[in-house]
Structure formats: structure tokens, C-alpha cells
Structure 1
Amino acid sequence: MCRSAGLRFLQHHVVAALGYLLAGVVLFSCDQRPEPPSVSPDSPSSLARDRLPEQSETAGADQPGHARHPSADDRPRIVAFGDSLTAGLGVAPEDSYPSHLQRRLDAAGYRYRVINAGVSGETTAGGLRRVSWILNSRPSLVILELGGNDGLRGLNVDETQSNLEQIIRRLLAEKVPVVLAGMKLPPNYGADYTARFEAIYPKLATTYGLTLIPFFLEGVATDATLNQADGIHPTGEGYRLVAEHVFQAIEPLLLKPRPAR
């Protein structure tokens, strides 16, 4: 009898213990809420937020990669396509040349939206890879400012010219007018290299009938007061002068503003 009673007592406590354990598992499971899925910076979900200008309203001066909400801006688009000189490296977004150009157009009564498609460090090869992005923004005009980084790196002049030519041909094939910004190099790159490099721009402009800005940094590059400490990138005032030169070059291509009533 004692042995049988002991077994029943042991069985009772084992069952009770299992019941408590099972109840604990159930309660623990009910308290757990699924964590929201994490999104890495390079995942498709995060990249989907960085959409093209025609799909979304961009922040600030329409820098690529800051799209958030649908845009109702139906103005024709001028795309400033270039490197750090277009992006506005070293100055506030409102002091970049595309931002100055937007204000200049607004003041003159032209109804256009300027999109800053500048990427610091961009070469002509990198620009060629971005042409589809530029075309997807449905530009009415493209200001092409590329090649400076090729020259400063001493890249092959023929390859630089070929890349620019392919960019131009793809834009023209879609009936997009191109304004080509010429670049120059410091004399320490050698007379032969600098001459061949600088000849790229008038040659392409003549071949394809483009509006040419002979030197993008005209009146700015040689003035220390208009350049940052690196001697390459303009200050905000320097970019304002660049924008003025660009405005003078593109104005003949723009739709005339409506006269005030």
C-alpha cells in the first residue's frame, strides 16, 4: 500500500509539473509579437523608395535618391547632368548651380523645373551608365557637364570622347536637346594632353549641332575668392555666376514666358 501510494503521489506531481510547463509555453507564445522585417540599406525595398523624379517629389534641389511622395509638378524639366560641380560639393543645396539656375528661371518668368542630377566623382563612364535614369525623368533639356574627373585622372582622351558621344547620341535619339558644358585642365597635365582633352567639347558640339558652353567655369576658375579651399569647386557665389552663364546659354532654347496680364 505504501509503495502504491508513493507511486500515485509521484505521478500526480509529474503531471502537475508538465501542466505548468505547458501553460508557461502557451503564455510565452501569446506574449511574443512578430518583429517588423528589417530592411537593409541595399535591399530592393529600400531602393524602391529612391524613385525617379517623374514618380515622386524630391527633396531640396531634387537630388537623386531623396524621393518620397507623388509629384504634381507638371513643369517641363531641365536636367543638370554632371559631377560634383553640378551636385554642388562643399556648399549647401540651395547654393548649387542648379538651385541658382532655378531661381534665375523663376525670376525671368520661365516655367521650368530644374533637376539636380549631379554625382560627385562621376566620370563619363559612370554618366553613360546613368543615361537611362536621366531619360526616365522625361527631360525637356539636358545640361551635360562631365569629363572633368576623366581629365584630372589622366584617363584616355579617346575613351572620354566616346563616352560623351554615346551619352549625346542616346539623348538626341529620344529628341532631348543637349547643352554641352566644356571643361579645361590645369597646364601641369602637359600641352598635348590638355589640348586633346579640351578639343573634345567643340568637336562634339559641331558634330551634333549642340549649344556649347565653351568653359563651364568661365570667370570663376581663376578667381580664388570664388573657389573653395581645394581650388576646384566654386563657392556659393561662384556657383551663382556659373548658373548665370548657363542661363545665358540655354535661354534661346526655352519656351518664352507668357507676358504678364
Structure 2
Amino acid sequence: MSSTSSLTRRALVAAALAAPTSAFAQRRRVVTLLGDSITAGYGLPASAALPARLQAELDRLGANALVRGAGVSGDTTAGGLARVDFSVQKDTDVCVVALGGNDLLQGIEPARTRANLDGIAARLKARGVGLVIAGLQPPSIVGRSYAAEFQAIFPTVARAHRAVLYPDLLAGVARQPALNQRDGFHPNAQGVAVIARGLAPVVAKALASRR
């Protein structure tokens, strides 16, 4: 074997050994969805639920991320506060906090909802987790005063903790029969796809800001 061939083989081996190292050097950053039935995928197979659809959208955008669902059907902001420390795992880079819908349905005092979300955000920020606060727009049947107080919760918490605000998780989906299940509250697979497409660029930007 010539010395040139030997050098070529060594170069190829070195490249092959180096490739896995470079691939693993940049780990996939973790995005956790802390929420209720919307993030839990109520009434849908896992492949059509928000964690899977958001994963697909982030992949399409080229974000090197791993999405984890931490949604519990029926959960309020109080429930989220009670479980945030163990539901959002230690390796989470960005957490999307998508809670408040059940508070709205139960007519919980907005001040309590705000205090719970503030507690969630404070605990995650103390851990160095990036935050996306997903808000909700109350339906027209809710009293105007209550709706105004409720709607103000999310930007208030986001500003207080310098979090990214996504004003309306259900933008383009709420009160659209073709995008919701029969109950009129939970998005169907098409509705979840709409949510994921809207949310993904915001999450990707939040991840990029943490480089």
C-alpha cells in the first residue's frame, strides 16, 4: 500500500470518528408544554396531539428541539403551580405555559389565576428556564369586566418575568366548528395543526434567543 493511500484511509477514518462527535455535541434542546387538555391532546391520538404537531413544525423550521408534553386534562393554574417542579424536568430549555382555560370555565377570580401563573413563572425563571406564556381570549358570552381582567393576566405575567407572550393559544381555532371536536372546546386534529403552526415560530425564536 502506498503512503498516499495510507494517508487517505487515515483521513477517512478520522472523519468517520469525528462525525458522531459533532452530531452529538449540539444536543437537542428541550421544550416542555405545561398545560391542560389542549396540550394533553384530549380526544386525539398522540400523533395528532399538540406535542407531536409542534415537534413536526419545529423540525420543519430546522429547530434542534425535543418537545415534551406536560398537559393534564382539567388542570387549572393552581394545579400547574402544584406540579410545575416535577412536571417540567430539569433539562428543559424553554417551557410553554398554556394554562388558564379551566380557570376561565370555572369563573375563578382573575387575581388568583394571575398569582398562580406568576408563581409558575417565578419558579421556572429561578431555574433558568426560558418562558413562553400562552394567553387566551375569553368568549363574548363572558362578562365584559371579567373578560378584560382575565385577558390582562397573560401580558402582565409575561412583562413581569420578561417572558415571551403568545397572546392567544387558540387563535384561528376557537369557535370554528370545522376545527373543533363536538364539544366545541377541544380542537380536532386540523385545529391542533393550526395551533402548532402559529406557536412554532414563537417557540423557535425563544430557543434561538438562548444560544
TM-score band w.r.t. shorter chain: 0.7 to 0.9
Q: Which residue of 1 aligns with 2:200?
A: 247
TM-score, length-scaled by structure 1: 0.67
Matched, 1:110 2:63: yes
Match of 1:181 among 120, 134, 141: 134
**1-side partners of 2:89 and 2:175: how far apart?**
37
Q: Which residue of 1 aligns with 2:43?
A: 90
Q: Which residue of 1 aligns with 2:28?
A: 75
Q: Report the CA distance shift for 1:222/1:135 in structure 2 as closer, same or farther (over 3 A).
A: closer
Q: Which residue of 1 aligns with 2:89?
A: 136
**1-side partners of 2:134 and 2:208: how far apart?**
21
Q: Give % identity.
A: 39
CA RMSD of aligned residues (A): 1.4
Write the deviation string for residues 88-146 of structure 1: whole angstroms up to 9, x where unpaired.
Answer: 10111111111101111222322211001000000011000111113434200000000
**2-side partners of 1:202 and 1:80: how far apart?**
18
TM-score, length-scaled by structure 2: 0.83
Matched, 1:125 2:74: no
- In the alignment, residue 203 of structure 1 is paired with which amino acid? T
Q: How many aligned positions are there?
A: 183
**Higher Cα radius of gyration:** 1
Give the secondary structure class of the aligned counterpart of 1:217: coil
Give the secondary structure class of the aligned counterpart of 2:186: coil
Deviation at 1:253, TM superposition (A): 2.0
1:154-193 equivalences in 2 (<5 Å): 154-193=107-146
Give the secondary structure class of the aligned counterpart of 1:197: helix
Deviation at 1:194, TM superposition (A): 1.1
- In the alignment, residue 134 of structure 1 is paired with which amino acid? S
Deviation at 1:184, TM superposition (A): 2.0
Runs of at least 5 residues in structure 2 that lack an aligned partner in the other structure: 1-26
Q: Which has the higher contact order (CA 8 A, sep 6+)?
A: 2
Moved more, 92-101 or 162-171: 92-101
Matched, 1:228 2:192: no
Match of 2:169 among 204, 211, 216: 216
